[in-house]
Structure 1
Amino acid sequence: MHISWDDFAKIDIRVGTITEVNDFPKAKNPAYQIAIDFGELGIKRSSAQITGLYDKSSLVGKQVIAVVNFPPKQIANFFSECLVLGVYTDKKEVVLLAPDRPVENGWKIG
């Protein structure tokens, strides 16, 4: 299925820095609750199924790429405000997408 350029332009994809990571025991699949600083957009929270390849301490300070204009989605007792992007491995683990050098939080992907 093809999408138009106008369809793609509706997706707001930004860079942010993870500031906080907590376990999420109520999640259906193993996940963390993370807080991400998107600069002018502020802090957004997300549930991320990234426990297979990342421990909490390695995530704080890491820059990630996320879609920030989805409506909040309730996952158990938590509201996820953005979708952190990653690549699924053949073992169904997620490798996070990130800029190859530090950039300003909130900068837009295009």
Structure 2
Amino acid sequence: MTPAPIKDTITFDDFDKLDIRVGTITSVSEVEKSKKLMKLMVDFGDHTRSILAGIRQERENPKEIEGKQALFVVNLPEKKMAGELSQGMLFDIGYADGVTPCLAMPEKPLPNGSRAG
């Protein structure tokens, strides 16, 4: 893989607009109307969200991420995809570069809802 060029510089205020939080993936299920999407139910400590992720064809067993903590962007607008509502975005690593993606995870367990940044 050849690393992509670094994107344009942003301000700290721009970065501060992103709300990236730790959540525990409590369940992973197929989205009937999609060959790519999986529905993740994610515990953020004070609430649970449904987050759709295009991981169905990226992993031999997408359910292997159940019980794992990962990073999620939680302040994006809700989006309906394949008849299901997504309330955030899985913050994974590799997809944009054409390599098999992996979860962006904390190195040790943290309280659900902990913020990155």
Partner of 1:109: 116
SS of residue in 2 equivalent to 1:39: coil
User: How far off is 1:87 after superposition?
Assistant: 1.2
Partner of 2:67: 61
Please report the TM-score for the alignment, with normalisation by the length of structure 2. 0.83
Supply the AA of the counterpart residue of 2:30: D
RMSD: 1.6
Partner of 1:3: 10
Partner of 1:21: 28
- The answer to whether the aligner puts 1:83 opposite 2:89 as a matched pair is yes
Written as runs of structure 1 = structure 2, the 5 A alignment for 1:88-99 is 88=94, 91-99=98-106
Structure 1's unaligned 5+ residue stretches are none
Aligned-pair identity (%): 34
User: How far off is 1:9 after superposition?
Assistant: 0.5
Assess if the C-alpha contact under 8 Å between 2:55 and 2:62 holds in 1: no
Counterpart Cα distance in 2 of 1:2 and 1:84: 23
User: C-alpha offsets along residues 5-29 of structure 1, whole Å, 9 cap, x if unaligned?
Assistant: 00100110000000111111312x5
Partner of 2:42: 36
Assess if the C-alpha contact under 8 Å between 1:50 and 1:93 holds in 2: no
Structure 2's unaligned 5+ residue stretches are 1-7
Counterpart Cα distance in 1 of 2:37 and 2:24: 18
Please report the TM-score for the alignment, with normalisation by the length of structure 1. 0.88
Aligned residues: 108
User: How far off is 1:92 after superposition?
Assistant: 4.7
Worse-matched range after superposition: 76-85 or 92-101: 92-101
Larger Rg computed on CA atoms:
2
User: C-alpha offsets along residues 16-66 of structure 1, whole Å, 9 cap, x if unaligned?
Assistant: 000111111312x512111100112x1111111123226243121110100
